[in-house]
Structure 1
Amino acid sequence: MEDSDRLDGPKQNSTDSTTTTRRTYLRSVTAMGVAGMGALAGCSGSSNSDSVDPEVPDGVPAEVQSQYWRDDWPHVSDEQYSQGPPISRTASAGAAVDPISMEYSREVSPWMQQYAFMFQEGFNQLGASTDLNNRPLNQLYAESWAPAGLEAVISMSIHGPDPIRAVSPVALLMRKHQGSPSFYEKWWHPRMQEVLSEQAITTGNEEKRVELIKEAQQIFSDDVAGIIPFFPDLVTAANTEKFEGYVNMPGNGPTRDTIPWSEPNLQPNTDETSYVKGTTTTMDTLNLPWGGGGPEDFTLRYIYDGLLDVGPDLQLVPALATDWEFIDDTTVDFELREGVQWHDGEEFTPSDVKFTVEYYTENDAINQTLFYNPVESAEVVSEGSGGTIRFNLKNPNPTFISHSAVNSVIIPEHRWEDIDTPSQHTPDPPIGTGPFQFDSWSQGSRFRVKKWDNNWKWDDEFRSEVLGDDFASGDGIDELIWSNVGNTDAMIGAINSGDIHSIDGTLSISQAERATESPAVEKFTVENFAPLDTKLNFLVPIIRDKEFRKALAHSIDNEGFVEDVLGGRATVAEGQNPASPLHSKWYNSNVEGYAYDTDKARTILEKAGYTWNNDTLHYPNGEAWGAFVERIQDGNTYKRRTDLDQPDFSSSS
């Protein structure tokens, strides 16, 4: 890339560590905007630097490659181990640190690319160059779930405000457990494994589980298991002239589909009873249990119900189940709601729940694994007054109620029992018990559902109890329509013209200002419990060095970004804590903090033996190289230099 193409982006390998310089940079990023920064991607490549003669102590390898570290991760298969990871990075004695590969997706948020460039500047302040890669969001998701692991050194994404993440931070923290299918960063800490394993079998003692989860937050932050900068507020817009009763659900807002409460609560202010949501995403299937987890994973939940919901106060709310109780560590009973009907008029019974679990298990319903996988068997205890269903669990599982039951989607036995290949089935129509029933679907353009009066969410008494001050009394809307309008600019134009009534997505501050040019449209801002997660790839040698991770944590100006780019619309994380203050009793604010301080970051690196040549960061050399190799070995990645009795190498330079 020619220098003339760089606009005014971050200067390569700048060493000016003053806050003023960084804040000036952040303001320039804001002024340029996302569109103007597109030409910058990938421009911070390797810089020219003088070579350094390697000095390698006896018995120490001269270089270390990215690899699966067998002792830390014994679960890696022999085939995976022999093939090696999808990323190739080499650390060599005294050599310049290769460009740090970073990936993100502009599809995630209007400001995600700006954050990637701010993070790049943090590396530049340390003397390390970067390669940026803007990838389609579906590719990032697919990579995150791939057993092989991440393909870049740094990977950025915002965790979705899924219901199971609303109740507590357990779901996010359990990603750090070796047994998790999303153990893709390959970070390992012995005490973290013990803590997470213990909390996973601690039933009937929530106080103890809270203590364990708080300890897990301390371990995560102290070890810099990832960079957790902030919890971004959700900003969106909706028509408040024609409709009232919006519910500002934390993490979800009043218009998104993850935890929907607004739509059953909306009251028309005119004769218009059809509510239209603008979207830029497209459903691929009407088969929710066997879907791929795209937009249909949430949109179709308006048609189906689960056993439990999560309310705006982030507490469990009755759904198909009205009461629940652990009988012992592996047995849990759910009392089911009386008088529920499927959308075709058939009666809902406990047998439908039993069938659902067994059918999912037999046919590998990929989108419902969290629900059925912990279950050994299900049995109908009673049929009267709604009935009782009992789940016999494979192991003690305190999160079966808060995670599995909340994630559940119950399907009708009489509509699915004769379907031999459910993964290839297209329900025509999809039948559930939810507040809306299917009307029509034009793939790529429009999805329409109609009000189902039999659902409890239309009951004023129920909604009043759940929604509190957000409750709006009335008969509600008659139908709900998702209209695909192509892109955010088109949605902004459509909401101002009145063609749509809300935006099903996240807006930047400037986009929200444009969307509210019409006096009929109002901006909504809500706090989030799902963080921006900058994942670190622990297959890469330099990431395995806790000294480097500590330095990196001090080089990122998260507060400056929130202030100058997000206009204060985010909650800066305490340390590197993935738990949100919204999690109240589960939240631990007493974690190690990492104030933005580039001088401190470079001092950490210098004491660990890193050097600079022509202002380019180099790996340690000589005895310091031997210390680096020791720090990244199996069982040492959570230890600092002093834990291993290594000297301060800055005093000998």
Structure 2
Amino acid sequence: MKEPRNDSTRRRFLRTVAGGTVVGTTALAGCSGESDTTPAATTEEDGSGSTTESGDGTEASAGGAGEALPTYTYLNNPANYNAARHDAINLIGERLNQLGLDVGVEVFEWGTLYERATQEFDFGFTTWSRGLGLYPGTRMPEQFHSSNTDPGQGNFTGYTNEDLDPVLMNQLQEGDRSARVDMLHEIQSVINEDVPMHPIVQMPNPLAFNNNQVSNWTEHLVGFYHMEPQTNVEVTADHGELRGSWSETLGTLNVLGYNNETKLIHQFEMLYDKLVRNNSNLEPDADLSLATSWESPDETTVRYQIREGHTWHDGEDVTPEDVKFTLDYIKENQVPLYATQWEMYDSVEVDGQWVQVNFSNPVGPVHQTFSNQIPIVPQHIWSERSDPTNVSVTEPVGSGPLMFDYWDQGSELSLVRNDDHWNTVNYDRRIWRIIPESSTVWSLLLDGTLNYLPFTRIGKQLSDNQSEDQITVLAPPGDGWWHLSQNTRQGGLDDPVVRRAAVHSIPKQVINEQLLYGFATQGWNLVGESFGDYSNPEVPKYQEENGVEVGRGLMEEAGYTFDDDGMAHFPE
């Protein structure tokens, strides 16, 4: 058991660890207006040794220094959404100010924050949780390829590296595993050097549940939401319901038109089937898959035998034509969420009960990068929808182990067991209730009103309650991390030297020990050790102690200067 910390100690730490005050980072709770990230005027020398303003808010000091670096906005989530991450962002913001960057932390509701970062690119720094899935190379092109920098495409940091682009794509096509490992190691080395995105902490997959009502969870790298854990878990309570909660509304139930948010991934994983799913040993498993077998006649062709006798939730048969329709449909409509996948293949054919996918290039770990990614949708419903990414879906029809029951959008979502599925769940219903306050959630888990927390947040409540007799906490290694992402489109942050200095300043150990109660591990590499040899052990670690001083030293070596207030200026 972890030793609990009292809240006053934790808050005292936040006030003192940075050598300043965390609330001095201009945290504007609830702010939803335009951020003040673009200064109003610049300054230049007036010949007298002083400085004068001249138009864009930067400042040139006496003594030959260049203009001051611009003001940056660090996007933060509300404290009631994720208290530990909220406090960590405030702390990092203070450290960045100590580094000499003018950083203001602003708080936004999650949907607004995500849109500002990924659609509007209106940020300097941002942090949330990201995962890599079963194969760590799957999301690399989405996050870092030079052609993927338009709004909503995934590379929201604006990072470009044309030398790295071919490696990002080729590792998806490489059939030889050792060669693929080498490519991933190269990607990790380059990204670790350029740091458009860097892990603050590697996160486990924590799950808290009431052991008087729930048992038999299976650990899986991607999380407990995966089909295998969800169909293995047993509910022993008389009501036969798996009862969880989330802190905010779901927003949509459109499986082709959402922002890859965790709260929706949990729903779609059980509402829809995929061609091939991988089990907890990370092996393709026909018992979890819509395809009962598969084969590769050559390096650019994969054939899938589609399960017979399976039906959609409305009773219509699931056919190979539905699979072909799905793959053609997302490609023709260029559905952004599955761009990595639809760019991989040229055409799809049906041959009896078999579906053949003809890929543009040789495919590597196809069942980790393709077969397990795309939810199969019913042709008889989606063929009537001309704009799949924007259509409103409130009553989804899939073929998965759970079926839609009802959705009170501001209150709760109910999914019920699909008795006709080949892999049925061991409970009658799964209910998610919208409960913003963590203390309320834990009270309901303790008294059995809820019986599991699908996205267990690490924090004081978890630390304090894990020792209760009716509570069990599992925390296996996960596939994700909290990231510090930097907008490389902004002046200063377009220089890897400044980005490295920022990363040096992150107080990772303090964040893990004081804010995450030791449940996480310090982040050094985008591909963590939970991925085995895919993780590059040679990636150097950024300075933990005296990180601000080290970061300043890097900037000074590159010609940056610091004025009397400690603020950084561009090289002359």
> TM-score, normalised to structure 2's length?
0.82
Matching of residue 28 in structure 1 with residue 1 in structure 2: no
Q: Distance in 2 between matches of 1:515 and 1:552?
A: 35
Q: Distance in 1 between matches of 2:382 and 2:97?
A: 57
Q: Give the match's secondary structure for 2:83.
A: coil
Q: Look up the match of 1:582.
A: 530
Q: Look up the match of 1:404.
A: 370
User: Which amino acid in structure 2 is aligned with residue 151 of structure 1?
Assistant: D
Cα distance change, pair 345–224 in 1 and its aligned pair in 2 (3 A):
closer
Asked if the contact 2:137–2:171 (Cα under 8 Å) also holds between the matched residues in 1, the reply is no
Moved over 6 A (4+): 43-46, 62-65, 423-428
Aligned-residue Cα RMSD (Å) equals: 3.6
Q: Distance in 2 between matches of 1:114 and 1:569?
A: 16
Q: Look up the match of 2:31.
A: none
User: Cα deviations across residues 605-633 of structure 1 (Å, max 9, x unaligned)?
Assistant: 3333333332423425xxx52xxxxxxxx
Q: Look up the match of 2:139.
A: 171
Q: CA deviation at 1:91?
A: 7.5
Q: Distance in 2 between matches of 1:614 and 1:525?
A: 47
- Structure 2 residue aligned with 1:337, among 307, 332, 337? 307
Q: Look up the match of 1:452.
A: 418
> TM-score, normalised to structure 1's length?
0.72
Q: Distance in 2 between matches of 1:193 and 1:430?
A: 37
Q: Distance in 1 between matches of 2:330 and 2:488?
A: 34
- Which is worse superposed, 517-526 or 494-503? 517-526
Q: CA deviation at 1:39?
A: 5.5
Matching of residue 481 in structure 1 with residue 431 in structure 2: yes
Q: Distance in 1 between matches of 2:390 and 2:159?
A: 37
Q: Look up the match of 2:221.
A: 250
- Structure 1 residue aligned with 2:540, among 592, 598, 621? 592
User: Which amino acid in structure 2 is aligned with residue 349 of structure 1?
Assistant: T
Q: Look up the match of 1:72.
A: none
User: Which amino acid in structure 2 is aligned with residue 594 of structure 1?
Assistant: Y
Q: Distance in 2 between matches of 1:492 and 1:297?
A: 23
Q: CA deviation at 1:437?
A: 2.2
Q: Distance in 2 between matches of 1:109 and 1:32?
A: 21
User: Which amino acid in structure 2 is aligned with residue 579 of structure 1?
Assistant: V
Q: Look up the match of 1:42.
A: 26
Cα distance change, pair 412–117 in 1 and its aligned pair in 2 (3 A):
closer
Q: Quick one: percent identity of the two aligned structures?
A: 22
Q: Give the match's secondary structure for 2:199.
A: coil
Q: CA deviation at 1:393?
A: 2.7
Asked if the contact 2:76–2:107 (Cα under 8 Å) also holds between the matched residues in 1, the reply is yes
Q: Distance in 1 between matches of 2:307 and 2:522?
A: 41
Q: Distance in 2 between matches of 1:569 and 1:284?
A: 30
Q: CA deviation at 1:320?
A: 0.7
Cα distance change, pair 133–321 in 1 and its aligned pair in 2 (3 A):
same
Q: Look up the match of 1:520.
A: 470
Q: CA deviation at 1:306?
A: 1.0
Q: CA deviation at 1:373?
A: 4.5
User: Cα deviations across residues 402-435 of structure 1 (Å, max 9, x unaligned)?
Assistant: 2232121112334445566766766785432211
| Residues 161-560 of structure 1 aligned to structure 2 (within 5 Å) | 161=131, 165-172=133-140, 174-180=142-148, 181-200=153-172, 202-252=173-223, 254=224, 257=225, 259-291=226-258, 293=260, 295-318=263-286, 319-363=289-333, 365=335, 367-381=337-351, 383=352, 387-398=353-364, 400-417=366-383, 430-458=396-424, 476-513=426-463, 515-516=465-466, 519-560=469-510
Q: Distance in 1 between matches of 2:477 and 2:394?
A: 38
Q: Distance in 2 between matches of 1:274 and 1:440?
A: 15
Q: Look up the match of 1:141.
A: 114
Q: Distance in 1 between matches of 2:386 and 2:493?
A: 48
Q: Distance in 1 between matches of 2:420 and 2:532?
A: 35
User: Which amino acid in structure 1 is aligned with residue 243 of structure 2?
Assistant: V
Q: Distance in 1 between matches of 2:467 and 2:448?
A: 12
Q: Distance in 1 between matches of 2:359 and 2:449?
A: 49
Q: Distance in 2 between matches of 1:210 and 1:505?
A: 31
Q: CA deviation at 1:214?
A: 0.6
Cα distance change, pair 425–228 in 1 and its aligned pair in 2 (3 A):
closer
Q: Distance in 2 between matches of 1:203 and 1:101?
A: 40
Cα distance change, pair 64–603 in 1 and its aligned pair in 2 (3 A):
farther
Cα distance change, pair 346–589 in 1 and its aligned pair in 2 (3 A):
same
User: Which amino acid in structure 2 is aligned with residue 100 of structure 1?
Assistant: Y
| Residues 109-148 of structure 1 aligned to structure 2 (within 5 Å) | 109-146=82-119
Q: CA deviation at 1:307?
A: 0.9
Asked if the contact 2:81–2:436 (Cα under 8 Å) also holds between the matched residues in 1, the reply is no
Q: Distance in 1 between matches of 2:197 and 2:57?
A: 19
Q: Which runs of 5+ in 2 are unaligned?
A: 1-8, 29-35, 38-42
Q: Look up the match of 1:647.
A: none
Q: CA deviation at 1:452?
A: 2.0
Asked if the contact 1:379–1:389 (Cα under 8 Å) also holds between the matched residues in 2, the reply is yes
Q: Distance in 1 between matches of 2:325 and 2:463?
A: 49
Q: Distance in 1 between matches of 2:394 and 2:542?
A: 54
User: Cα deviations across residues 466-516 of structure 1 (Å, max 9, x unaligned)?
Assistant: xxxxxxxxx821222222234323212221222111123232331114555
Matching of residue 563 in structure 1 with residue 537 in structure 2: no
Q: CA deviation at 1:218?
A: 0.7
User: Cα deviations across residues 88-107 of structure 1 (Å, max 9, x unaligned)?
Assistant: 88585434444432222236
Q: Distance in 2 between matches of 1:582 and 1:534?
A: 20
Q: Distance in 2 between matches of 1:303 and 1:492?
A: 27
Q: Distance in 2 between matches of 1:243 and 1:433?
A: 25
Q: Distance in 2 between matches of 1:316 and 1:173?
A: 23
Q: Distance in 1 between matches of 2:117 and 2:480?
A: 17
Cα distance change, pair 374–302 in 1 and its aligned pair in 2 (3 A):
same
User: Cα deviations across residues 140-170 of structure 1 (Å, max 9, x unaligned)?
Assistant: 3223432x6x2222122221x4xx6232244
* Greater helix fraction, Structure 1 or Structure 2: 1
Q: Give the match's secondary structure for 2:197.
A: coil
Cα distance change, pair 617–54 in 1 and its aligned pair in 2 (3 A):
farther
User: Which amino acid in structure 1 is aligned with residue 404 of structure 2?
Assistant: F
Q: Distance in 1 between matches of 2:178 and 2:523?
A: 24
- Which is worse superposed, 432-441 or 421-430? 421-430
User: Cα deviations across residues 249-276 of structure 1 (Å, max 9, x unaligned)?
Assistant: 3352x4xx4x343332122334331221
Q: Look up the match of 1:604.
A: 554
Asked if the contact 2:81–2:247 (Cα under 8 Å) also holds between the matched residues in 1, the reply is no
